[in-house]
Amino acid sequence: MKTTRREFVKTASAAAIGASLARKLAKAQPQTPSGGKSYDVAVVGAGVFGAWIAHTLQKKGRKVALLDAYGAGNARSSSGGQTRVIRMGYGDQEIYTRWSMRSLELWKALFAEVDRPFFQPAGVLWMARSEDPLTTKSLATLKRFGVKHERLDRAELDRRWPQIDFGPTTWAIHEPESGFLVAFRAVQAVVADAMAKGVEFIPEAVAPPEGKGRLGSIATRSGRTVSAETFVFACGPWLPKVFPELLGDRIFPTRQEVFYFGIPRGDGRFRAPAMPVWVDFAEEIYGIPDYEARGFKVAPDRHGAAFDPDDGMRVITPQTLASVREFVNRRFPPLRDAPLVGSEVCQYENTSNGDFLIDRHPDHENLWLVGGGSGHGFKHGPAIGEYVTARILEGGAGEARFSLATKEKVQKRAVY
């Protein structure tokens, strides 16, 4: 299948829009706090969680400062990659299905408002083997929540996607209205829209809060002071560095390698809509179709080694490349020995079981800790923005699974 002129123009337009957005953010004059200036909320971290929290609080009429040392959706952050999956299937973890549904609605609404095509409805294919319990539970949950989906047997899989060798896969769930988000550009779009509506962006690193009790202000590394009624630290993999005694052994940043393989010239079988996002949990690996001619993305989902987001070397290892290439050769025969055209090293910031951390700091009543995306959090940014905003403005009991008390010191992954 060849790329049509319309598809080419659409992709080229998306690339141009992304470049334009990056230039606007780079040229924007960052707002810095002047003497005596105070905010309702100061959000530290402009990844997907912090960006949506700031955006949602501003929509509720709050005066918000958003701080990030490296910039919105920067390459060191867990939100800084090219693409991220958005799916509804989560086994029987219903809250994440609900949040995915709500988040996709909000992502699409924002992209329509700012005219940015940063959601790609490629569909998501969840491969299964026999009576796979996780996939079977997902099937039941999708039915219960009315998510559009198909249960496909092996014969149908082979018919629809002949470019895939499904190997031991016997059936799959297909979510035709799910897909992927253009990650760092999506975060930058959220921040740009928030800034246009009044959120003040401060490109500064923040010193860890000291002492106990209610915080009146935080200090930046340059010596500036940011005063606010409430503080949200949505620092992703930096949370254990900012709060080492509290979170140093409860948030586990891990090194994750991502690979992009070149597709054959003129071959549209590995781009959407011919190729969906796919997930093979049995082999702990997933992939995203070629987007903007950057390559066919394949990445292991298993947790890597401990990683420092500031100084960690972001170069792939020959061992992981060899393992991923073996999988690609086996499961995608037309890509056998395809050239590696790109790679990324990012990180997950895992909690003990994969549930998010959203709770007050035990020593500071007006400081919220938000993180633990655990490799699946990006898609949920809009729902987390709503959830944290409601906790700050309305109070009330939160979800017990997000509490600090549930974050153990030993990892036992339970959310996929």
On the 0-12 / 13-18 / 19+ scale of CB atoms within 10 A, 117 is: middle
pLDDT tens for the chain, 416 residues long, are 343 434 433 444 455 555 555 555 555 444 444 444 799 999 999 999 999 999 999 999 999 999 999 999 999 999 999 999 999 999 999 999 999 999 999 999 999 999 999 999 999 999 999 989 999 999 999 999 999 999 999 999 999 999 999 999 999 999 999 999 999 999 999 999 999 999 999 999 999 999 999 999 999 999 999 999 999 999 999 999 999 999 999 999 999 999 999 999 999 999 999 999 999 999 999 999 999 999 999 999 999 999 999 999 999 999 999 999 999 999 999 999 999 999 999 999 999 999 999 999 999 999 999 999 999 999 999 999 999 999 999 998 889 999 999 999 999 999 99
Q: How many CA atoms lie within 13 A of 227 on its CB side?
A: 6
Q: Is 124 helix (H, G, I), strand (E, B) or coil?
A: strand
> Which domains are seen in the chain, by residue range?
116-183+255-346 (3.30.9.10)
Closest CA to 200 of 167, 227, 171: 227
Concatenated DSSP letters of 194-223: HHHTTPEEE---BPPP-SSS---EEEBTTS
Q: In what order do the strands lie in the sheet with 83-86?
A: 83-86, 179-182, 119-120
β-sheet bridge partners, residue 151: 173
Question: What pLDDT does 414 receive?
Answer: 92
Question: What pLDDT does 34 receive?
Answer: 42
Distance CA(404)–CA(339), nearest Å, equals 44
CB 240 within 8 Å of CB 398: no
Question: What pLDDT does 37 receive?
Answer: 76
Distance CA(139)–CA(150), nearest Å, equals 9
Closest CA to 379 of 97, 188, 140, 146: 97
Question: What pLDDT does 42 receive?
Answer: 98
Q: Is 164 helix (H, G, I), strand (E, B) or coil?
A: coil
Q: Is 163 helix (H, G, I), strand (E, B) or coil?
A: coil
Question: What pLDDT does 16 receive?
Answer: 52
Concatenated DSSP letters of 346-365: EEEEE-SSS--EEEEETTEE
Question: What pLDDT does 167 receive?
Answer: 97
The DSSP 8-state label assigned to residue 408 in this structure reads: -
For 77-153, strand residue ranges (E) read 83-86, 119-120, 124-128, 150-153
